[in-house]
Structure formats: structure tokens, C-alpha cells
Amino acid sequence: MSGRLAGKSNSSWSWTRAIYDDRTRRSTDAEGSELRVLLLGHFSTVGDIESLEWAEAILAGEGLRFDVASFSEKVAEGRPDLLKLDQVDPRRYTHLVMVCGPLWPDFLRRKRLNLDRFGHCTRIGLNLTMVEPTAEWNPFHVLLERDSDRASRPDLTFLRSTARTPVVGLCTIARQREYGSAQRHSQALDHLRQLVDKRNLAVVEIDTRWPASRNSGGLGSPAQVISVIERMDVLLTNRLHGLVFAMKAGVPALAIDPVAGGNKITAQARTIGWPAVLSADELAPERLDGLLDWCLSEEGQTAARQIAGDAQAKLQSLDQEFRDALRLPPPTPLPRPRSFLDRFRR
């Protein structure tokens, strides 16, 4: 990443960068040389990223050019805006700022980073955990550590205002063989995943399978499942009991019936009066967007809280109907269906 300002986008793995034009104020040193900063760090956790964003905002406010490089080659490969260590030319920089995370001499040796190559740079340590005693190893002109043997500060991310995003449960199944060629599960899953990415939703995977040994999240009882669901803002699901348990918890569900033409999810939603359901034949991004907006609205939240009570009212007679069924006299044996061989017997 070269000479850019950082700004968050909808994806945690993609940032919008605004490149300075010729009108941008540039800071220079006393000799008139342009200052340029290399921000170097792990950048492998959300805390690392917020620390980086804070530093970028300061540099942008000062009108300074900067590049960002990661210690991790894998991280850099997944982020085209980051430099790899072997792409860094120390001669381009007047400042080296190491940002966030633990730091110790053996780590730099393993990364083949020779700080002598940055001997001409002002070196700053920012929000670091210094593993070694600073009296024995401190390669910085200015150390603004998070913690060391000499000082401790709150983590730098406390200075960042972190935006909130809706938290949604994702309760899905990939296939149900009983529906044969009518299955549209893959389409349903694709649309739900696209919605999650597009809307920058925080996702919690929720599995309704039992027992716990079969459950991907280790949930072993209905109580555990509903306790997770009730903490969601919305549940995205293509499972009948995903829809039902969301309604029991008073949580709006955006449900997709994954069977062509609609099947048990569509029937259940119609029975309980829940409108936020699409069949696999009706999938379209704009319809999913609209239903998600409704589920997140006060109207959708209120509607969800009413469904369970209405459903219980409709089931009031079922208790007695079942008890009555248990008291029925023994039935007359049903005729045995004729087998294929019976046709040839006299």
C-alpha cells in the first residue's frame, strides 16, 4: 500500500483508500526532504487492524506519505494493499513505525529483518508488547509500548470508535435427500452468504442437529440452541426448526424454503403468519435485502415477538386431542396389503 488514507468499507478484508493528489500538504524535514513512513506489523487480528487505522489517521492528518507492510507473507498475499517484507526498500523511508503485537529479537531474526538497514530512520514502537527487558533490547528512538517491563498502557484500540453491525445467526443445511431433484439448497446457501457479505453482517453459525456429537457448534440441547438464537438480531435459515426456534425466541427470521415450489418451511410460515419467507424459486438479491431491512426494523421485531403466543393459541386443543387418541379402543386390524407373490397364490 503506498501513500494512502485508510477508510473502512463493508468488508473487514477490504478497505477504501483515497490517494493523495498534488494539492495534498506534504511534510518535510528541516533539510526540505519529504518525509515518508513505513508502518510495519503483524496485521493478523482485528486489534492489529484498528491500531493500524489509528496510526494511518494520524499520518493522514499530518499530510505524511506512508506505506504499510506485514510481517506475515500470507496476510500480505491476501491483501494487495500491503507490501511484503521483501518488497520493502528502507532507503525510501525517513521513519519506521512498528505497530501492535508482541516483539522480540528472535522474531525479527526469523523474519530476516535487519534493523540496521533502517539505521537512518527514526524508529517508533507503537502499541507493542516488548517481550525482552527494555534495558537489554529496545531498538526504538521512541517507544510507546502497550506493555513492557518499564510501562503499561491501555491497548490503542480504545481510541478507535468501532462501528456496530447487525449480529445474525446462520442456521442452514446443505442437502436433504428426501427431496431429490427438488432440492435447491445450494442456491439458498449462496444467496444467504452473498447477503451476509454485502451487508457486512456479523455471523454466528447455529446448528440444530442433536446430539452434541453431531452438532457443529457442540450445542447439546434445545435450551442451548434457543439461548444462542435469542441473542441474535435476526436468524437467516433454510431449516424449519431454525424458523420455529427463532419465532419461539421472538427473533425475526429471514427464511428460504430450499425445496422447489415450497415445502414445509413455506407451509409453517403460512400457518403461523410469518411473512419473511421466500421459496427457492423466488430468490433475488433485492427481495432478500428488503426482507432483511424489515426483520431489522421495529415493525419486524414486534411481529416476531407476537408469533409464539399466537402459535400456542392455535395449538390449545392439541393436548386434549392427543390424550383422547391414547384412550381409543384397540382398532380393528387393518387389512394386510397384498404382496407381489399373493397375486399368484390361490
Grid cell of 101 as nine digits: 503485537
- Predicted pLDDT of residue 201: 97
* Cα–Cα distance for residue pair 192/124, rounded to 1 Å: 44
Q: Name the pTM for this structure.
A: 0.78
* Cα–Cα distance for residue pair 193/238, rounded to 1 Å: 12
Residue 140 and residue 175 in contact, taking contact as beta carbons nearer than 8 Å: no
Amino acid at the residue 253: A
* Helical segments of the chain, H only: 46-61, 73-78, 105-110, 185-199, 222-229, 240-249, 264-272, 285-296, 298-314, 318-326
Least confident range from 13-17, 64-68, 72-76: namely 13-17
Grid cell of 177 as nine digits: 435427500
- Predicted pLDDT of residue 340: 63
Chain mean pLDDT for the chain: 89
Using one digit for the tens of pLDDT, what is the confidence trace for 149-197? 999 999 999 999 999 999 999 999 999 989 999 888 999 999 999 999 9
32 has a pLDDT exceeding 70: no
pLDDT level of residue 26 (50, 70, 90 thresholds): very low
pLDDT level of residue 88 (50, 70, 90 thresholds): very high
Q: What is the domain class of 167-316 according to CATH?
A: alpha beta
The architecture of the domain spanning 4-159 is: 3-Layer(aba) Sandwich (3.40)
- Predicted pLDDT of residue 31: 53
Using one digit for the tens of pLDDT, what is the confidence trace for 169-179? 999 999 998 99
30 has a pLDDT exceeding 90: no
- Predicted pLDDT of residue 4: 41
- Predicted pLDDT of residue 22: 31
Residue 146 and residue 138 in contact, taking contact as beta carbons nearer than 8 Å: no
User: Is the fold of 4-159 the same as that of 167-316?
Assistant: yes
Q: What is the mean pLDDT of residues 64-84?
A: 90
Question: Domain ranges in the chain?
Answer: 4-159, 167-316
